[in-house]
Amino acid sequence: MQTPFPSSAGAPFGAASPIDQPLSELPAAPETEDGAYVYSPFKSPASFSSDPAPRKLHPLVEMHVDRSAFDELERRAERNGPWDDWSMYQLALEAEEASLVSDFHALRCLALLPHFEPLPHQIDTARKVLHEMRGRAILADEVGLGKTIEAGLILKEYLIRGLVKKVLILVPASLVLQWVRELNSKFDIPAIAQRKAYTWDNDIVVASMDTAKRDPHRAMLLDSEFDLIIVDEAHKLKNKRTGNYQFINELRKKYCLLLTATPVQNDMSELYNLITLLKPGQLGGEGDFAANFVADRRIPKNEAKLHEALGQVMIRNRRSDGGVEFTKRFVTNVPLRLSPDEMALYEGVTNYVRNHATSESGIDLTSMLSLVTLQREVCSSRDAVFLTLINLDKKMDPDSPLRPKILELVDLIRSIKANTKAEKTMELIQGINDKVIVFTEYRATQDYLIKYFKEHDLSAIPYRGGMNRGKKDWMMDLFRRRAQVMVATEAGGEGINLQFCHNVINFDLPWNPMRVEQRIGRVHRLGQTEDVQIYNLCTLGTIEEHIVHLLHEKINMFELVIGELDEIIHQLEKEDSLENRLAQMVLESTDGEELRKRIDGLADSLLAAKNQLHGETPT
């Protein structure tokens, strides 16, 4: 006989299971205090009525219904929306379209720059760096074509694609805030200017090279990893023995952009250093590079193969390529005749230079250039040459026969009470009656002009190297908003943008045409809406007259596009620099007529280089 199993719920064996009972006969489930129904599978239905109070189960077993979504749906139905709101539909559609990637090679950042439209050559450059050069490139566009814009496009694209987050941008101190403003305003990139040590913790930092390479900043940066490093004015990295080069080389970086408008072909080793810093091995080892591409220190060989290798890491857009419209430039040479006292000083200095050169056997290059500088300073101002003569006197042997001549020249300087060039400059500025930038090569001349203009109730501010970042930015703001004149040394000819000004006075001219073009390029660049007026002051009967004759009348420098100009200079400087050639001519010429003949010969060499560039036969 089979023994029945006892019921686990305590009910008599054989009682009907709840599953077998009709629903109408099942007892109601009791409620707990909070209204939740409790059902225990371990009790029989009969026990519901016998228990004095139902037991509450663990909260995980309780059932709650959240009706908030249904309530919101009812509220939307009552106010007929917002699914039929057209503006919200448009926003949703735009969001979807913005997220679409129709072409991997297209720049996605262009759709996110509604208030700024890059030029075609800038877009092409950014695309080439991204897809062909893999984020490591030298941007070597000519002055005024917008290398900063190209770097901003590349940075913006990498940020959008999520390939870059940590960025370091190293620039000259005078350009830090200019970079920050451009990245913020044109590209909506949240770059900040470095001010304190804690600033390095930000994602996108713009800093000066001089600050970054000093401790404690140096140690902090070398301990970090960067997705992208951008270096402006990168031609200063050409020498691998400098601290700048070694610092950039040691930074850990995934992508790297080097920006420079200065051609890097004057010295083959410098070219090798710059390319190797960017992409090691691109030109092979140093010995391989010398064997394959170097005929002499300044002369390459296998140029077609070299250009092909450079084209993989360097982009150089030129004004002559077309497609970019610039305003016109008008050049006026302003000849001046020095006063008798000023001319006597010039002739005295010229005689001193020639006597010094003939009395020294085997005069070296540095001494030669410093002697010729005396003549150039006289053409600028008595203040400039005065300081140089005093320094020469301090360094000279007390028994030197040339020392009395220096003291005689110093006395002559003290007798001069006027400056012919300053008076003419004042006359020009008053006639222009607009903002003017005056360039000089000498700090002493700059100080004199600021004082001279102030004495004549003309608002003028200085701009020079040696000023800290804050002061340079202050000077720029004063020039933009208040002062009529900025008097700048060569530091003002590098990097800064002055499109709001369209008048340039070259108080004294550099001997290298490229430096003259750097000056003009501060105002004659993209964004300039007016034609640019350029005035070159020239003192007759001096070395200045010969330089203007060479630059303007012979090679017509001011009419050449800068790309053509730097090619001509490069062809000429394969043997020696233009400044050294001119200095040697000055020292070796017995009079002005002989010097003019020598300079005409140099001009013929420049014209031959120009004809060779254009494939023309000299006439």
173 pairs with which residues across the strands?
Answer: none
Query: Amino acid letter at 24?
Result: S
**Among candidate residues 318, 317, 307, 320, the one with its CA nearest the CA of residue 265:** 307
> Mean pLDDT for each consecutive 10-residue tract of the chain (619 residues)?
45 49 53 47 46 55 73 78 71 79 77 85 94 92 86 95 95 88 93 88 93 92 96 87 92 94 68 88 86 77 83 85 79 90 89 70 57 85 89 80 84 89 95 94 94 94 85 89 93 76 92 81 86 92 82 63 58 66 77 80 74 55
Q: Which residue has the tokens 């309780």?
A: 62
CA pair distance 214, 236, nearest whole angstrom: 17
Q: Which alpha helices (DSSP H) does 80-197 contain, by range?
A: 86-99, 120-131, 147-160, 176-187
Q: How far is CA 208 from the centre of its chain?
A: 11
Residue 10, pLDDT score = 45
Q: Which residue has the tokens 């960067």?
A: 226
CA pair distance 143, 309, nearest whole angstrom: 23
Domains and CATH numbers, the chain: 112-321 (3.40.50.10810), 326-563 (3.40.50.300)
Residue 7, pLDDT score = 44
SS3 418: coil
CA pair distance 381, 12, nearest whole angstrom: 125
Which 3-state string (H, E, C) describes 543-612?
HHHHHHHHHHHHCCHHHCCHHHHHHHHHHHCCCCCHHHHHHHHHHHCCCHHHHHHHHHHHHHHHHHHHHH
Q: Which residue has the tokens 């010398």?
A: 290
CA pair distance 529, 360, nearest whole angstrom: 53
| Cα atoms in the 13 Å half-sphere on the side-chain side of 139 | 31
Q: Which DSSP helix (H) or strand (E) runs through 66?
A: none
**Among candidate residues 261, 313, 256, 304, the one with its CA nearest the CA of residue 283:** 313
| Cα atoms in the 13 Å half-sphere on the side-chain side of 551 | 24
Q: Which residue has the tokens 């001089």?
A: 210
**Among candidate residues 126, 138, 130, 135, the one with its CA nearest the CA of residue 237:** 138
429 pairs with which residues across the strands?
Answer: none
Residue 126, pLDDT score = 95
SS3 328: coil
Burial of residue 400 (CB within 10 Å: 0-12, 13-18, 19+) is middle
Determine how many CB atoms are found less than 10 A away from the CB of residue 379.
25
- Helices and strands, counts by H and E, the chain: 24, 13
User: Token pair for residue 282?
Assistant: 């691109």
208 pairs with which residues across the strands?
Answer: 171
CA pair distance 138, 147, nearest whole angstrom: 10
**Among candidate residues 271, 299, 308, the one with its CA nearest the CA of residue 286:** 271
User: Token pair for residue 271?
Assistant: 């070219």
